[in-house]
């Protein structure tokens, strides 16, 4: 039995790639197991299919035709593997009979097979599969159906099917399944479930805040943050510490207009460009020039020996809104450890410095031990390729970092 399980697992793993030859090979093996295989072999095949049925069944459905079983669905009860293979058959009558058999079977695997036949090209097969699908409300079955329907949503015959299923899930018998969808391991399915749960009011404010701050999926974080801010704009301050830059950007946009300028400083120096831009917009709306704020805060941070993160963020922000006169202030960071500060300073100088000053300011950093600093140096020097000395270009071409070598090669060609 162990040998059979390992063999089927190997065949299914190969077919997961979607390569036609591997999928067709699995189809042949499955049909052979249905027609002549012993009971334990069919059980091993079902076990391998059930581990991740959705992508496998979609691949099988694409490559199972033409061809089919020499024997169809028997009059009496049929085993699940035979029903699955008949549901992929080229004969519409066999597919219809298989749908009737699958409608009486529970579990994710039969449900996924029904969802596939819900977009069948034969109306009778399609209608019976849809009716059987809409009657299912167990969480694992709903998850299997949604996974398939999301992947088939672009097909012409699937038009409106996912929306109809969503309306069914919004009814009271399916509320437990909706909460399970919102915690599913498949990202598209989880986002679908999260959006539906939010529309149904399944999350209280504590749930929304916790998800917006800590969830592993950025789409789910933003969905919950948006709903939380709609319910209580005062929560914007708590969302500023979210791990996701998209949530922090939304939180900055939701801050009141009279928020103290000191509270905006960490946001002006945020590691994410979109958050810095939104914080600058807050200043623009209040009539405060962001470049002036950056200059004052950067000087203050240098005097106070502020953290590298703050220095790097302020340097990048000033590089995004300053002018050539800020180069002198930024050059004070070019030789400063750690490397993150030098990277930010080089990036800003590369944007703001006058072309005739670039080589003199950044050329000495071509040999910087940090790959990121060297990359920023050579990217900035591509602005003035005719002024870069040959020895500096050579340094870039012999460095080990591919991005640095590519930038140096661009300079040499120009």
Q: What is the pLDDT of residues 359-391, one digit of tens each?
A: 999 999 999 999 999 999 999 999 988 888 999
240, 242, 278, 353 from 275: Cα distances, Å: 10, 12, 5, 24
Query: Over the chain, what is the mean pLDDT?
Result: 90
Which of these, 106, 163, 165, lies nearest to 134 by C-alpha position?
A: 165
Task: Tokens for 373, please give them.
Answer: 């600093």
Mean pLDDT within 303-311: 92
Supply the pLDDT for residue 1.
47
Q: Is the pTM of this model over 0.85?
A: no
Which DSSP letter does residue 58 get? H
Mean pLDDT within 326-332: 94
Residue 155 banded pLDDT, cuts 50, 70, 90: confident
Which of these, 205, 264, 261, 214, lies nearest to 235 by C-alpha position?
A: 205
pLDDT at 71 over 60: no
pLDDT in tens, 5-63: 888 899 999 998 889 999 999 888 988 888 888 888 888 988 999 888 888 999 998 88
pLDDT at 117 over 80: yes
């Amino acid at each position: 039995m162990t040998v059979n399980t390992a063999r089927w697992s190997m065949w299914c793993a190969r077919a997961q790639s979607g390569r036609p030859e591997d999928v067709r090979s699995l189809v042949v093996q499955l049909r052979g197991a249905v027609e002549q295989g012993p009971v334990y072999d069919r059980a091993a095949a079902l076990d391998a299919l059930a581990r991740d049925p959705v992508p496998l069944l979609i691949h099988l459905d694409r490559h199972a035709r033409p061809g089919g079983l020499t024997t169809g669905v028997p009059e009496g009860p049929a085993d699940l593997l035979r029903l699955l293979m008949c549901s992929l058959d080229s004969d519409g009558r066999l597919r219809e009979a298989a749908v009737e058999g699958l409608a009486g079977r529970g579990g994710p695997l039969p449900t996924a097979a029904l969802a596939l036949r819900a977009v069948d090209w034969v109306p009778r097969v399609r209608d019976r599969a849809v009716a059987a699908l809409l009657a299912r409300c167990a969480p694992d079955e709903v998850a299997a159906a949604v996974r398939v329907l999301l992947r088939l949503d672009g097909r012409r015959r699937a038009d409106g099917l996912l929306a109809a299923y969503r309306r069914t899930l919004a009814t009271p018998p399916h509320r437990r399944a909706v909460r399970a969808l919102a915690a599913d391991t498949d990202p598209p399915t989880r986002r679908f479930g999260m959006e539906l749960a939010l529309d149904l009011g399944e999350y209280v404010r504590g749930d929304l805040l916790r998800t917006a701050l800590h969830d592993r999926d950025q789409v789910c974080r933003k969905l919950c943050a948006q709903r939380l801010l709609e319910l209580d704009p005062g929560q914007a301050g708590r969302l500023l510490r979210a791990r996701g830059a998209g949530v922090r950007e939304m939180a900055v946009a939701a801050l009141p207009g009279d928020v103290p300028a000191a509270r905006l400083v960490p946001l002006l120096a945020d590691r994410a460009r979109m958050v810095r831009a939104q914080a600058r917009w807050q200043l623009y709306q209040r009539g405060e020039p962001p470049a002036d704020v950056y200059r004052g805060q950067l000087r203050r941070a240098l005097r106070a020996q502020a953290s590298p993160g703050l220095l790097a963020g302020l340097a990048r922000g000033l590089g995004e809104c300053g002018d050539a006169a800020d180069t002198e202030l930024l050059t004070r960071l070019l030789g400063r450890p750690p490397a993150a500060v030098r990277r930010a300073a080089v990036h800003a100088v590369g944007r703001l410095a006058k072309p005739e000053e670039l080589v003199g300011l950044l050329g000495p950093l071509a040999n910087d031990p940090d790959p990121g600093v060297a990359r920023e140096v050579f990217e900035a020097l591509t602005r003035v390729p005719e002024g870069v000395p040959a020895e500096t270009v050579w340094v870039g071409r012999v460095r080990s970092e591919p991005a640095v070598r590519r930038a140096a090669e661009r300079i040499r060609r120009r």
